[in-house]
Structure 1
Amino acid sequence: MESRAKALGHGIHPMMIVFPLGLLATAVIFDILYLITYRAGFQISAAYTIGAGVIGGLLAAVFGFTDWRAIPSGTRAKRVGAIHGIGNVVVVLLFAVSWLARASATNWEPNALALICSFAGILLSGMTAWLGGELVERLGIGVSDNAGVNAPSSLSRRSTRRARA
């Protein structure tokens, strides 16, 4: 099925996710740099990029939810999409908690909770990004109205044998 929320003929959700994902990953890089150098500025940069990433993630979620609602019920694509979406809500919540933990500190200093939430969030985002790729690349969601909404996982043996043939 093709994306339901489009701009100039292209799905909005896939265009929007690059911004929050990039911002949140950059925040983790700033956190790592801060932990290595303790130079002032990295923790502030991390906090601002987390704030922007959370806002961007919420906006991307609106368009992702719109597309998910159009996937036929009872299909593998609907299940993968639900896990992808719920996982990304958890990612945004983890980063929001990280931001709140920093906001109460002097000079946006990240405490252990803030760092754990950010690092857990970026790890989970890698898994949810893979699921998003599975939706698009394997199942054809957002690409074609002839999507294979019940195609097997790209990790299954059956799909691996077919790829070698």
Structure 2
Amino acid sequence: MQARARFAGHAIHPILIVLPLGLLVTAVVFDALFLATGSANFAVSGAYTTVAGVVGGLFAALFGWVDWFAIPARTRAKRIGLLHGVGNVVVLALFAVGWLLRLDSTTWEPSVTSFLITLAGLVLAAVTGWLGGELVERLGVGVDDDAGLDASSSLKRTVDTPRHDVTAAEHPTGT
């Protein structure tokens, strides 16, 4: 099932999730380094990467929801997609709460509590990432209908190009 939100022949959502996910992982690393060293530079870096990751995640989520609405109702893919999407909203909420808890500090230092909340968000992100992989790799969501090892380039496809070339011999009815 081809993704609805596309750019240059590719689904937009999986392109957009890479940067926010990397930022959120980096934020947890910076916060862990702050807790280990006490360096205010790590605290500030963790705060900025958290905000950037949450904002980027919300932007990526918009395209994920567009694709989710295209999945047929009452299918396993629709249920997995819902779990994936709602789970990722919870991930972003956990990181946002972790960031809000550090606002009491003048140097944006994370407390152990805010660190544990964002760490829980990271663990949940691993689960929701697996669900996203299940959608694509197992259920074929976001994969072109004519995908294959010898498929043509997505940039060569035009509006006039048929999705499948079927000869009359393959379809004796002529349809």
1:92 aligns to what? 92
Q: Aligned to 1:41, what secondary structure does the other structure show?
A: helix
The structure 1 segments of at least 4 consecutive aligned residues displaced by more than 3 Å after TM superposition are none
Q: Greater shift after overlay, 105-114 or 46-55?
A: 105-114
Q: Which amino acid aligns with 1:123?
A: V
CA contact (8 A) 2:30 2:45 kept: yes
Answering whether residue 74 of structure 2 is matched by residue 64 of structure 1, we say no
Matched ranges for 1:88-127 at <5 A: 88-127=88-127
2:163 aligns to what? none
1:2 aligns to what? 2
Q: How many equivalent residue pairs?
A: 147
2:31 aligns to what? 31
1:80 aligns to what? 80
- Relative to the length of structure 1, the TM-score reads 0.86
- RMSD of Structure 2 on Structure 1 (CA): 1.3
Residue 146 of structure 1 deviates from its aligned partner by 7.6
Q: Which amino acid aligns with 2:52?
A: A
Q: Which amino acid aligns with 1:85?
A: G
- Relative to the length of structure 2, the TM-score reads 0.81
Gap runs ≥5 in structure 2: 148-175
Q: Greater shift after overlay, 107-116 or 85-94?
A: 107-116
1:154 aligns to what? none
Q: Which amino acid aligns with 1:91?
A: V
Q: Aligned to 2:40, what secondary structure does the other structure show?
A: coil
**Which structure is higher in helix share?**
1
Cα separation, 2, equivalents of 1:34 and 1:91: 22
What do residues 134-154 of structure 1 show as CA deviations (whole Å, max 9, x unaligned)? 10011110003489xxxxxxx
Residue 35 of structure 1 deviates from its aligned partner by 1.4
**Percentage identity across paired residues of the two chains:** 59
